[in-house]
Copies of this chain bind each other. A is one copy, B any other.
Amino acid sequence: MFSHVKDLQFEARPDAPDAGFAARLQEVLGGKWGEMTVANQYLFQGWSCRLPGKYKDLLLDVGTEEVGHVEMICTMIARLLDGAPLSIQETAAEDNPMLAAIYGGSNPAHFIHAGGGPLPVDSNGVPWNGSYITASGNLLADFHLNVTAEAQGRLQVARLFHMTDDPGVKQMLRFLLARDTMHQNMWLAAIEQLKEDGLEEMPVPEAFPDAEQENSVAYQFINFSAGEESAEGKWASGPTPDGKAEFSYATRPMTSAPEPVLPAADPRLHGTPPLVGQPTPDGWRR
């Protein structure tokens, strides 16, 4: 259960309107790596966590913080949308090429659908969707995804930082950059903690018995393209990060199976070949 505090975690106040930047800022609100993703991902992971205690608390703490980040960015977008010209005619009336750029680069649905407010969409207006998040039940797999989410998220905020000169916007982005620094470190620490607690190791899932996999190719790099530059990396020789083997390098893929011939389908599916029991033009008897 949740409760809401009216204050924002950090100020979201631009110095001036900019509908073009509002459209871009949507990427870190409703895009694949935006705040809606991390908020929902951590909460679903927390709600699905079958281990009470510090891991569940961690997930719910951070998921709850991220819902507040959604709120901050929504507030910022609403303010950035103020005062935009609504039509090409208004845009042209002012002799200001920046206005033409803003008109062209803005999200029309910000005005038509949302009345000057934020939308749960990305920087192209594509709606956020539930496939952006994963709560797999396996904490090590999920914590690696969470590191990724914070890395991609911080990368996107850093790029947005260079796309505006507005001091107020930059101030909020500075805050988000810092929290993403924290969260990258936090999930990396959580990975260490999981290992220290003996709960999981690489490769995920550790508990799947090694003997059941086809071990002849479990530590072999296979070269599928012309050139052998890929042999020069740490992934092609030397010890493997899971500490169980040495990498080997296969210079050419070896096939294990001859070309398959699929059986003819049920004739009621009306595929090609249409009938069974007759030679085909290629001499293959169905």
Contact = CB atoms under 8 A, between A and B. Distances in A.
Contacts of A194: 272
Interface string A57-70: 11011111101101
A152 B139 CA distance: 11
A144 B138 contact: no
Nearest to A147: B144
B271 A116 contact: yes
A127 interface: yes
Interface string A106-132: 111101111111111111111111111
B199 A272 contact: yes
Contacts of A216: 178
A175 B1 CA distance: 15
A21 to B, nearest CB: 7
A281 to B, nearest CB: 4
Contacts of A202: 151, 184-185, 188
A91 to B, nearest CB: 5
Given A87-B163, A141-B155, A189-B240, 12 more contacts: A9-B255, A33-B113, A36-B130, A43-B71, A47-B118, A48-B118, A91-B97, A105-B105, A121-B124, A145-B145, A178-B216, A185-B235
